[in-house]
């Protein structure tokens, strides 16, 4: 009588099927794990790209602030990695886990956003301070020249009588540049009795500057001019004995002695 092999065969088939199911389950789980890992990596890559963009913006802000503040370019070189160091830890060193890395990147994002905001505010304050400084008269109204008549009482060059001179005369080479001593808006550009060809600029805080006896005017009413910009060419138009610029400063309608403004430095 022969021995039946069917139960043993069925048992073997069942074991193989279980093993196949287990392997397939492990493959599926591995595939899901790879998918989740790829999603994490994609999210980290996206976050890293965002952080790199913010850091590039901070570098650009830092470079602008260094230029505005006239800082040492070598000391504030934003293209170089900051100097760092430390003792080698050896076996004590530990790898960073994914959760720790994500947490550190989120914390770094907060710090970067805070620094960006503060640098933006600092840039605005620096620019405002520089702009305010440029809006106040300072320096000479010519590139080259000398004072030929001062502010105050003097003998009139035409009548010889004592008369009050409301500005200073700065003599120089004919057709040399006459420049604005502060940023402002041109409120007069043309002929005016006694002054010849006159430019008047209105500045902040009630200041007005006037530049008379020009040979040619380079600006027009309504122009925004910056400190140091050429506004006219020196001449002898109007009531004048030779090439010079009559330079006058007034504040709130009252003329001031330009002496201290002429000596002021930017």
pLDDT (tens digit per residue) in 188-213 = 999 999 899 999 999 888 899 999 99
Residue 77 belongs to some domain of the structure: yes
Residue 215 belongs to some domain of the structure: yes
> Is the confidence at residue 2, as pLDDT, over 90?
no
Helices (H), the chain: 6-68, 98-134, 259-263
Considering only CA atoms, which of 214, 183, 213 is closest in space to residue 201? 183
pLDDT of residue 204: 82
Are 119 and 156 in a shared domain? Answer: no
| Helix, strand, coil in percent for the chain, rounding step 5 | 40, 25, 35
Are 253 and 220 in a shared domain? Answer: yes
Are 125 and 157 in a shared domain? Answer: no
Are 113 and 218 in a shared domain? Answer: no
Residue 208 belongs to some domain of the structure: yes
> Is the confidence at residue 228, as pLDDT, over 60?
yes
Instruction: Give the Cα separation of 212 and 149 in Å (integer).
Output: 14
Are 69 and 181 in a shared domain? Answer: no
Are 118 and 165 in a shared domain? Answer: no
Over the stretch 137-171, which tens digit does the pLDDT of each residue have? Answer: 989 999 888 898 899 887 777 677 788 888 999 99
Pairing state of beta strands 230-234 and 207-217? antiparallel
pLDDT mean across residues, the chain? 78
Residue 86 belongs to some domain of the structure: no
CATH number of the domain to which 209 belongs: 2.70.70.10
Residue 256 belongs to some domain of the structure: yes
Give the tokens for residue 136: 């106040």
How many structural domains are present in the chain? 2
Residue found under tokens 């020196």: 234
Are 130 and 150 in a shared domain? Answer: no
Considering only CA atoms, which of 181, 177, 193 is closest in space to residue 264? 181
Are 43 and 112 in a shared domain? Answer: yes
pTM of the model: 0.54
pLDDT of residue 220: 93
Query: Domain residues for 17?
Result: 9-81+98-134
The answer to whether the beta carbons of residues 210 and 255 sit under 8 Å apart is no
Considering only CA atoms, which of 134, 128, 132, 122 is closest in space to residue 66? 122
Are 163 and 55 in a shared domain? Answer: no
Give the tokens for residue 24: 């397939």
Instruction: Give the Cα separation of 217 and 199 in Å (integer).
Output: 7
pLDDT of residue 177: 96
Mean pLDDT across the stretch 212-232?
93
In the chain, how long is the greatest CA-to-CA distance?
156
Instruction: Give the Cα separation of 221 and 184 in Å (integer).
Output: 11
Are 162 and 121 in a shared domain? Answer: no
pLDDT of residue 190: 95
pLDDT of residue 129: 63
Over the stretch 104-148, which tens digit does the pLDDT of each residue have? Answer: 777 777 777 776 776 676 666 666 665 666 778 989 999 888 898
Instruction: Give the Cα separation of 123 and 112 in Å (integer).
Output: 16
Q: Which band of pLDDT confidence, cut at 50, 70 and 90, is reported for residue 86?
A: low
Over the stretch 245-260, which tens digit does the pLDDT of each residue have? Answer: 999 999 999 999 999 8
Are 150 and 222 in a shared domain? Answer: yes
Are 13 and 103 in a shared domain? Answer: yes
Residue 87 belongs to some domain of the structure: no
Give the tokens for residue 70: 């006239």
Instruction: Give the Cα separation of 34 and 37 in Å (integer).
Output: 5
Lowest mean pLDDT among 53-62, 63-72, 183-192, 243-252: 63-72
Residue 93 belongs to some domain of the structure: no
DSSP-assigned beta bridge partners for residue 232 = 178, 217
Q: Which band of pLDDT confidence, cut at 50, 70 and 90, is reported for residue 179?
A: very high
Query: Apex CA 198: angle with CA 192 and CA 170, to 5°?
Result: 125
Q: Which band of pLDDT confidence, cut at 50, 70 and 90, is reported for residue 178?
A: very high
Look at 39 and 232; give whichever has higher pLDDT.
232
DSSP states of 223-248 as a string?
-EE-TT-EEEEEB--SS-SSSEEEEE
Tell me, what DSSP letter sits at residue 178?
E
């Amino acid at each position: 009588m022969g021995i039946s092999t069917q139960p043993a065969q069925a048992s073997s088939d069942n074991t193989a099927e279980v093993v196949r199911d287990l392997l397939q389950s492990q493959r599926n789980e591995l595939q899901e794990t790879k998918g989740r890992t790829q999603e994490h990596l994609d999210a980290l890559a996206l976050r890293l790209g965002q952080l790199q963009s913010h850091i590039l913006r901070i570098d650009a802000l830092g470079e602008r602030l260094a230029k505005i503040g006239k800082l040492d370019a070598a000391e504030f070189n934003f293209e170089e990695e900051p100097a760092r160091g430390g003792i080698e830890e050896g076996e004590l060193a530990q790898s960073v886990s994914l959760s720790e890395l994500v947490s550190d990147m989120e914390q770094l994002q907060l710090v970067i956003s805070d620094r960006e905001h503060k640098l933006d505010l600092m840039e605005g304050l620096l620019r405002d301070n520089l702009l305010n400084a440029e809006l106040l008269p300072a320096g000479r109204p010519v590139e080259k020249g000398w004072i030929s008549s001062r502010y105050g009482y003097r003998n009139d060059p035409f009548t010889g009588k004592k008369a009050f001179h409301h500005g200073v005369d700065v003599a120089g080479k004919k057709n040399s540049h006459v420049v604005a001593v502060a940023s402002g808006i041109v409120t007069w550009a043309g002929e005016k009795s006694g002054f010849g060809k006159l430019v008047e600029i209105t500045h902040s805080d009630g200041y007005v500057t006037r530049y008379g006896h020009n040979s040619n005017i380079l600006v027009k009413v309504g122009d925004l001019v910056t400190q140091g910009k050429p506004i006219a060419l020196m001449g002898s138009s109007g009531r004048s004995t030779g090439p010079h610029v009559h330079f006058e400063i007034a504040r709130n309608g009252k003329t001031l002695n330009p002496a201290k403004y002429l000596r002021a430095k930017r």
